[in-house]
Amino acid sequence: MSRNPLDIGCLRSFDAVARHRNLSRAAEALGTTQPALSYRIRQMEEQLGVALFRRRPRGLEVTPEGEVLQTAVRQGLERIDEAVQSIARRAGTPTVRLATDFAFAAFRLMPHVADFRRAHAGVDIHIVATQSLDPEIADDVDLAVLFGDRDDFAESFAGGMSLLIPERATAVCAPGFLKRYGPFERVEQLLDVPLVHLDSDSDSGGRWFTWESWFDQAGVRRHPTASALSFNTYTLVMQAVLAEQGVALGWMGLVDDLLASGAVVRACDCTLGSPRGYWLLRRKGQQRAEVDLVAEWLNLPRDRAA
- pLDDT mean over 276-280: 91
Q: Among 90-94, 223-227, 293-297, name the one with the lowest average pLDDT.
A: 90-94
pLDDT, residue 74, reads 86
pLDDT, residue 243, reads 95
pLDDT, residue 111, reads 83
pLDDT, residue 157, reads 62
Torsion of the alpha carbons at 103, 105, 111 and 116, rounded to the nearest 10: 150
Full set of structural domains in the chain with CATH: 8-73 (1.10.10.10), 77-165+278-304 (3.40.190.10), 166-275 (3.40.190.10)
- pLDDT mean over 207-217: 92
8 Å CB contact between 198 and 210: yes
Q: What tens digit of pLDDT does each residue of 43-77 get?
A: 888 888 899 999 888 889 999 998 999 888 888 88
Where are the strands (E) in the chain, listed by range?
Answer: 53-56, 59-62, 95-100, 124-129, 143-148, 161-173, 195-198, 228-231, 247-251, 265-282
Q: Flag whether the pTM goes above 0.75.
A: no
- Order the strands of the 247-251 sheet from edge to edge: 124-129, 95-100, 143-148, 265-282, 161-173, 247-251, 195-198, 228-231
Distance CA 79, CA 97 (A): 17
- Whether the predicted pLDDT of 204 surpasses 50: no
Q: What tens digit of pLDDT does each residue of 121-140 get?
A: 888 888 888 776 666 666 77
Q: What tens digit of pLDDT does each residue of 85-108 get?
A: 666 655 566 788 888 888 998 898
